[in-house]
Amino acid sequence: MEQTLEKKSIHEDRYYRPDNFPKGLTRKVVESISHIKNEPGWLTSFRLKAFEIYEQKPMPTWGFFPNFNVDIDSYTHYIGSNQQKKKSWDEVDPEVLKSFERLGIPEHERKYLAGIEAMNDSETVYANVKKELTELGILFCDIDTAIREYPEIVKKYLGTVVSVGDNKFFRLKQLCFFGGFFCICSQRCKNAYASSGVF
């Protein structure tokens, strides 16, 4: 654990912590996360519902959970990023570019991708979706953009893959989620591009 914390400190310039943001998980903390991110009321309600279920759910008894000794309330559950979204690869942090090379996506290949969203530390740092994707009826963007521009679609599908009755930590992910991608193809889209995600 010490090694992980030490690595994070190398990149302190990438993060900011809102003044006096409390540690732990309470209703007020969840509301504060939503407020800082300027989210609509329905999304605040979604997070609060996930928090209620998280509070009620017992600790899972399978896997490594019986020996899980992490005090969730000793953590700060929101840290922002100082990185701004870029429209050109030339503007992206060289360290992020190195990550793409390590993932096997060389520069010449990136130039021919129909759409790409690059995330680092749960924030989109690069976005470029070619016009032809939109014309085909493919919506592809980061989740924060989708929440602003396609709220009804996000509202309909957010949190539907795993059942409400699933484990405590799935609810933790729902109430504290940041970042992620949004992709949906319209019914008129017959020849969609192959898509993939690298995590």
Flag whether 108 is in a domain.
yes
Q: Does residue 198 sit within a domain?
A: no
Mean pLDDT computed over 71-88: 67
Confidence of residue 12 (pLDDT cuts 50, 70, 90): very low
Report yes or no: 86 and 125 within 8 Å, Cβ to Cβ. Answer: yes
pTM as predicted: 0.67
pLDDT of residue 31: 92
Nearest partner of 31 among 99, 22, 126, 64, judged by Cα: 22
Q: Which residues constitute the domain of residue 55?
A: 27-63+71-185
Name the pLDDT band for 3 (thresholds 50, 70, 90).
very low
Whether residue 4 lies inside any domain: the answer is no
Higher pLDDT, 28 or 125: 28
Torsion on CA atoms 39, 41, 44, 48, rounded to nearest 10: 180
Q: What crossing angle do the helices spanning 27-36 and 41-56 adopt, rounded to 10°?
A: 150
Residue 98 within a domain: yes
CA end-to-end span of the chain? 21
The number of distinct structural domains making up the chain is 1
**Identity (one letter) of the amino acid at 71?**
D
**Dist CA 41 CA 82 (whole Å):** 25
